[in-house]
Amino acid sequence: MIYSEKVMDHFQNPRNVGVIQNADGVGQVGNPVCGDMMTFYIKVREDRLTDIKFQTFGCGAAIAVSSIVSEMAMGKTLEEALQITNEAVAEELGGLPKNKLHCSNLGADALHAAIEDYRKKQAAAPAKEAESASPGSDKCYCPYCEGPIEGMEEYCQKCQVELEECPRCGNLTRKGGDKCASCGAELHES
């Protein structure tokens, strides 16, 4: 089995490996026959992929495919990223042996699954916002942007701030910050 130089490069030096905490979308696919598993994590801003990370358990071809898919999709709109096919992935890598072509399917499928996950979350978001805007609601709000953060008390996705509870007043404030956004108390002793 002979791999192209590009496959070997992406296998030995994979790009964008890792996990995105509080990812906007997560897609996981696997092939039980060969045991390859791929998980893609995406961040989306204004309908464009601004960050992509992956974790892959599998052969060298699976790792190379994940790496190249992450590069191919970075910076693209969601629609453009959905156009990435297994054929395009294999072609971008300079070809794959026949018995490894399924890996290119997995890479494109994992990316597409992450995008679909993001879209499902976005479709559910307006319903949550309407619910949180109802009069008399006691939902939790970010102290920086006033956005609702119900169910995500440790992170505001709207303004991208990690939050923690102030030991003095109990309200949310920036994690690692010097002063509480609500009561102004010093958070960390010098």
**What amino acid positions are annotated as catalytic residues?**
34, 103
Instruction: State how far the Cα of 74 lies from the Cα of 184, in Å rounded to an integer.
Output: 40
Instruction: State how far the Cα of 20 lies from the Cα of 43, in Å rounded to an integer.
Output: 8
Residue type, 79: E
Please report, for residues 86, 102, 186, the alpha-carbon distance to residue 110 in angstroms, rounded to integers and kept in the order given. Answer: 11, 12, 44
End-to-end CA distance of the chain: 60
Q: 58-93 in b/e burial notation, b at 16+ Cβ within 10 A?
A: bebbbbbbbbbbbebbbebebeebeebebeebbebb
